[in-house]
Structures are given as C-alpha cells and as structure tokens.
Amino acid sequence: MPRHLSQSEWGQRARAVLPDGGFGNFDPSVFIREGRGSRVWDEDGKEYVDLLIGSGPMLLGHGHPEVLEVVAEQMPKGMTFFANNARAVELAEEICAAVPCADQIRYVSSGGEADMYAIRLARAFTGRDKIVKFEGGYHGMSAEAQMSLAPSRMVNFPQAVPDSAGIPASVQAEMLIAPFNDPDYIRSLLAEHGDRIAGIIVEPLQRIIPPEPGFLQLLRDEADKYGIVLIFDEVVTGFRFAYGGAQELYGVTPDIATLGKIIGGGFPLAAIAGRAEIMAHFDKSTVGPEKWLMQLGTLSGNPVAAVAGLKTMEVLRRAGQYDRLRANGQRLMDMASAALTNQGVAHRVIGDPTLFEIVFTEGKVRDYRDVVRAETARATRFNAVLMQNGVFKSPGKTYPSLALTEADFDLCKAAYAKAAQAVAEMQSAGVS
C-alpha cells in the first residue's frame, strides 16, 4: 500500500507542475482530502467545520445521500453527450419557474463564463459597447470582469483599473466604474453616458456588502430610462438568499441573471437566464446572423450536473429549509460578534445570514473602499486562528450551510472566542 503523503509533500509535488503550487483559488498549502456533511479533512488528517463549502455550491453539505443517489443512477447512463438531454431540460424548467427574470436559460460550465456571455448578450441586444461595473464587484475572469475588482490604487470614477496583465487597453476604455451604493453618482454617470451603455452588471449583494434600501430599484429605473440591460450576477446569491434568489428577496427583477454554484449540486454548471427577447440572440434563426451570439461548451448542461442540481433544488424547496439556513447563519454571526464584543474589538458583521463576513472597522461599510480602509491585519489574524482551531473558511466570506450540527456550532463558538482573543492581543499591542 503506498505511503500517505503529507500536505507539505503534496505541496512540493504541486509546485513542480502548478504555477504558485495551486489552482489559483485558495491557500495552496491546504490540500483537502475529503468532505462529509459539514466537515472536511486535509491530507494531514486535520478535521474542520466547513464554512467555505466549495465557495458556495455545497449548500446541503458534502455527500448529501439523495444527491449521491441520483448521480449514481445517472453515471452508468452517460456522463456527457454534447447534445440535448432530458434532465437538463427539466432543470431549465425548474430554474425558469423559480427565477423571476428567467423566461429562458442557456447553460455554460462556470459562473465566470456566464458573466462573460451576459455582458456580450447585453451588447448584442442593445448594439452598444460600454458596460458599467461597480468597484470591488466580482464577475469572473473575463477581461471586462478583471477591471477594478480589487484595485490597489484608488483612482477617480469612472476610470477602470485592470486587475490582471494581458488585458488590452481597448477593453479598459469600454468599462465605466462606479461606487456601489451611491445613487447620486450612478445617476450622473448614466446622464452623461446612458445612450452608449449596453449593460449594468452588479452583484445584488456585492461580495458581502448589502445594497442600501432603494439602490437596486434605482438601477432598475435608470436602466429602463436609458434602454440599458440590467444584469444581476446571482452566481453566489441564486438559490441561496431565497429559492428565487436575491431578486426575489429584494423584489427587483433584472433583465438577465447569471447563475451557478448551487444549480449544479457540486458539479460544474452555470447558466445565463433572462427575458425571451434578449435570450433570442442565442438563436440565429430568430435574430439572423448579424445579431446572433455564438455560444457552445463541451460540458454545458451535462446530465450528471443536471440531476445533482435538480435534487439539490428539490431539497431546498422543502418546508423550512431557508428558515433553517438563515437561522444557522444568524447563530454564526451572533457568536462571532459576541466574542469580539466581549474582547472590546471594534467590528461590523456585514452581509446576510446566508453569506457574511466580519469587517474590523467602527465605520459604516457601504462600498469597496470602506472594506479596504478596515483593519486587514486583524482580519488576517482572526481567520488564521479560526483555521488553527478547526474552522475552514474563505479569507473574505463565511458560507453557512444546511448541514451544520450542534457540535459544529460548539466548535465554532470556541474558535471564535480564541480568534477574538488573538485580535484583542494585537489591538492591545498596538498592531494594526
């Protein structure tokens, strides 16, 4: 039997074949061996409560038995066909029934791919080129999305700052950047450029920052005023905030929404969902060759992901699931805040019970620049101590799941107390 390798040994192997030794997603020194329910184990055998849940898709937890059952039934029948299949049609029907803006959908394999096509679709529909994006908003890895995602230098709006090498200046010129939650600025921006703007793309909850009351409706009203396509990036919030997503929760319907993560039940699957007249641009026979948007993908709508997504959504439709998810998240928010308050550490709990984070600031958090001004060293220490004490999470988000147990909450409470104490010690020492 081959010897089990440690994380450090796997790290050495990874550095030989992977740039920076990883996949570009997470700390490359961490290698997860397996996940069951609410827990994951690394290659050294350390066990964690999982508050990352694959960056969102494992809302039911790892290895949910009903999802495993339908996947096991599908696998012998075929894993992918590059052709229509009935299960993906059933999933599309369920998405269209659930999501307010969805007359039709088109499948892709990742949320970033969905965002890229949504932007292109807005351009095809309007015949315009410019796109409005909010500073700090994450919309995947396309050239347009990699503008002012996490700029290290703050410039005047609406100038775009590339976050990556390899992006042509011509792309930068077509992007207009606005601050999130600033109604006056977006009104003035659209008054100046509205007739040249194809789309406004926005996360209804920008990373962890909630929209202020009326902000999303303002975007809807202004988009209508100038004939602009409003795109909600619901890759994260779709089927998490509510069964109909953030657009159901906030009561604002976009023209297009992008979906991912949960709709694939842990497998690669995403979708663009929108009004029929806009989605028609995927159909050459309807719009003609000049207005047709070409789109295809080898694994788009594959039946394994479709059955996993269908079963996940069936479970989410059961009575009380969203109440329980929100209750789980609220317990985590409350215990983290209580631990920090007991230690006299200034902080804000930002987000929604289904997706939140601790920001170390006394001020209000309305946009990306407010987050950047917070005490990032304290956040780094807080998250590191959580990991040391068995809580696995993203450096910038906490993802509650339906799989959390009382034992998980007990472990998290103890870990939050130790992390809060560590931050208080930093504070007492004057470390910022």
Residues assigned a catalytic role: 138, 233, 261
**Nearest of 7, 6, 55, 53 to residue 30 by alpha carbon:** 7
d(CA 276, CA 279): 5
Identify whether the C-beta of residue 164 lies closer than 8 Å to the C-beta of residue 232. no
Q: Is 292 helix (H, G, I), strand (E, B) or coil?
A: coil
Alpha-carbon distance of 84 to 109, in angstroms, equals 15
Q: Please tell me the distance from the alpha carbon of residue 259 to that of residue 269, in angstroms, as a whole number.
A: 9
**Measured between alpha carbons, how far is 54 from 399 in angstroms, rounded to an integer?**
9
Q: Report helix, strand or coil for 231.
A: strand
Q: CA dihedral in degrees (94, 100, 106, 109; nearest 10)?
A: -80
CA–CA distance, 57 with 62 (Å, rounded to integer)? 10
CB-CB contact of 74 with 235 (8 Å): no
Compute φ and ψ for 305, nearest 5 degrees.
-65, -35
CA distance 369 to 189: 19
Q: How far is CA 95 from the centre of its chain?
A: 18
